[in-house]
Amino acid sequence: MPPLPRILALAAVSVLVLAGCTPSADEPPAEVTSAADAVRDLPGVDDVAVTRTVSEGEPVQGNFGQRREQAPSTVSVEVALAGTLDPRAAGEAAGEAHRLLVAGADRVDDGENVTVASSFVGGPGLSVSTGPATASEVVSAAVADGFALLAAGASTVGLSLGLGGGDGSWEESPIASTAHVTAASPEDFVGLARTAVELERGVDLEAPGVHYQGATRMPDVDAVRLLVAAAARPGVVDATYLSPEQRITLQTDAEADSQSLADLRRWLETQDYGTADDPVGYTVLDAAYAETTGWVSGAEPASHAPHTLDPFTDAGVWPEDPTAPDCAGPDLEVTFGVVDSAAGTRGGSVRATNVSGGPCAVENVPGLVFENEAGQPQQDVTIEPYEPGVVPGRVVVPDGGTVLAPLLWRAMSTANDPDTTTTVQVTTVPGADPVPLDATTDGTPATGLDVLDGAEVRIGPWTQGD
């Protein structure tokens, strides 16, 4: 097996490097200590601690009996930043420190059989860790965000960045850039959620008995406010909001069929929050863990009769023509529409113009595959109807006319340079060849769309456009 590359990781963890000769157990490599000395002199750095740990090699059977294989070692570097730094200065110090330590690790001779691992801490509450080959700019942004969250009232902030295989390999697999934030009181949650939205950072929030699990999504401030209010209701001993599922769960000390339990359910169902098109479920557990479920605001999911979308135009509706043939793939020229954002959601559209020279008809939802810059499809993307009950309607597109299919998804955090969607493969009609569309032009963000692994995207059928 060829040697695995040396890496610098912002985490005080051991990583095995299966190459080289038995290291010296006395001192860290001079290249690392020299880099640590340079980091120690940076403005805003309080201290740098460097330690070396040698692992005991595994026994192997050789030609002359059993022996120990060469033991890898880890050099751990902990960089302590001054807790009084403002977020920008803290980020700049961390980014420069990371750059120096990476350069030092790269100079270590292969024969050292050593991996350099490091961590950044700030004041009493910040811990930032990362996997291999994380860019200094990403480290800088993460540390700056951590200091900003601490300034907004967090007790502790933990961030994990980078890539690494869950099985110990170095195959690339994403690790969310969610900030794990604790607070002394849930009353601090709303301010922390607002700060996270400003930073475009996903957060999990935790205080005694109250939990907001946001995954990689930026927090919904209104959902956080609902959670905090629910946690303060009489009899509630634990409250959790799951953002991806849009569900709040409340554990109570109330007896089954008690008035307090009924009052809590009534309170949930009278809140001005959920809607039929964007429902939020609730689960209330009594003292014996028996559960009752329902819908916040009393807004059950809409169960509309099947219907098509109204035309996205103020012009007259195109006439029906039962003799018009179905559009084929080459009949439609496809583009990606401008992305708008509001209140944590994104909206865009796929547009198709009839270039066949005559009218043709569409009656379907286009097929979409979201790909990152490497051409790999985003994983676990859930495709949902644009709105409840909507079904495709037959639209006869005149020559030169344009139909569009609307898209809607929740904003996802791009603070840690994840693999954004840069290409959307569009299958316009059944049987057509997919058409790759560049999702970094025509008014869309230059970095691509924040449709990431695990996204939920609502797609509408082809409808008359403008």
* Confidence band, pLDDT 50/70/90 cuts, at residue 170: very low
For residues 391 and 242, membership in a common domain is answered with no
Predicted local distance difference test score (pLDDT) of residue 20? 31
Highest mean pLDDT among 54-68, 161-175, 189-203: 189-203
Worst-scoring range by mean pLDDT, 235-249, 411-425, 448-462?
411-425
Is the pLDDT higher at 390 or at 366? 366
Predicted local distance difference test score (pLDDT) of residue 26? 61
Q: What is the per-residue pLDDT across 362-382, written as a single tens digit (0 to 9) for each?
A: 999 999 999 999 999 999 899
Is the pLDDT higher at 170 or at 190? 190
Q: Is residue 312 part of a domain?
A: no
Predicted local distance difference test score (pLDDT) of residue 67? 53
Here the CATH number for the domain that contains residue 343 is 2.60.40
**Last-in-domain residue among 162, 177, 192:** 177
Worst-scoring range by mean pLDDT, 5-19, 163-177, 251-265, 388-402?
5-19
What residues contact 63, with CB distance under 8 A and at least 6 apart?
none
Q: What is the per-residue pLDDT across 298-354, written as a single tens digit (0 to 9) for each?
A: 998 866 568 889 898 888 899 999 999 999 999 999 998 777 766 567 888 999 999
Question: Is residue 394 pLDDT above 90, yes or no?
Answer: yes
Establish how many alpha carbons lie within 13 A of residue 273's alpha carbon, considering only the half-sphere containing its beta carbon: 26
Q: Is residue 232 part of a domain?
A: yes
Predicted local distance difference test score (pLDDT) of residue 156? 97
Q: What is the 3-state secondary structure (H, E, C) of 160-197?
A: EECECCCCCCCCCCECCCCEEEECCCHHHHHHHHHHHH
- Alpha-carbon separation of residue 211 from 224, 253, 309 (angstroms): 9, 18, 38
What percent of the chain has pLDDT above 90? 58
Q: Is residue 25 part of a domain?
A: yes
For residues 267 and 380, membership in a common domain is answered with no
For residues 342 and 265, membership in a common domain is answered with no
For residues 128 and 219, membership in a common domain is answered with no
Residue 35's H or E segment, with its range, is helix 30-40
Question: Is residue 169 pLDDT above 50, yes or no?
Answer: no
Q: Is residue 246 part of a domain?
A: yes
Question: Is residue 266 pLDDT above 50, yes or no?
Answer: yes
For residues 140 and 213, membership in a common domain is answered with no
* Confidence band, pLDDT 50/70/90 cuts, at residue 55: low
* Confidence band, pLDDT 50/70/90 cuts, at residue 71: low
Question: Is residue 237 pLDDT above 80, yes or no?
Answer: yes
Predicted local distance difference test score (pLDDT) of residue 157? 96
Mean pLDDT of 351-358: 96
Q: Is residue 277 within 8 Å of residue 387, measured between CB atoms?
A: yes
Q: What is the per-residue pLDDT across 417-446, written as a single tens digit (0 to 9) for each?
A: 788 999 999 999 999 999 999 998 877 788
For residues 456 and 337, membership in a common domain is answered with yes
For residues 379 and 454, membership in a common domain is answered with yes
Predicted local distance difference test score (pLDDT) of residue 135? 83
Q: Is residue 193 part of a domain?
A: no
Report the distance separating Cα 268 and Cα 296, nearest Å.
5
Q: How many domains does the chain have?
A: 3
Q: What is the per-residue pLDDT across 104-162, written as a single tens digit (0 to 9) for each?
A: 988 888 767 777 777 899 988 999 987 657 788 888 999 999 999 999 999 999 998 76
For residues 216 and 289, membership in a common domain is answered with yes
Predicted local distance difference test score (pLDDT) of residue 138? 86
For residues 249 and 140, membership in a common domain is answered with no
What's the token pair of residue 298? Answer: 């009393």
Report the distance separating Cα 87 and Cα 30, nearest Å.
32
Q: Is residue 231 part of a domain?
A: yes
Worst-scoring range by mean pLDDT, 11-20, 80-89, 115-124, 257-266?
11-20
Predicted local distance difference test score (pLDDT) of residue 19? 28
* 362: containing domain: 329-464
What residues contact 428, with CB distance under 8 A and at least 6 apart?
327, 329, 332, 334, 352, 362, 366, 435
For residues 274 and 352, membership in a common domain is answered with no
Report the distance separating Cα 328 and Cα 135, nearest Å.
46
Predicted local distance difference test score (pLDDT) of residue 83? 92
Q: Is residue 322 part of a domain?
A: no
For residues 100 and 154, membership in a common domain is answered with yes
Q: What is the per-residue pLDDT across 275-289, written as a single tens digit (0 to 9) for each?
A: 887 899 999 999 999
Report the distance separating Cα 113 and Cα 115, nearest Å.
7
Average pLDDT, the chain: 84
For residues 19 and 148, membership in a common domain is answered with yes
* Confidence band, pLDDT 50/70/90 cuts, at residue 6: very low
Q: Is residue 3 part of a domain?
A: no
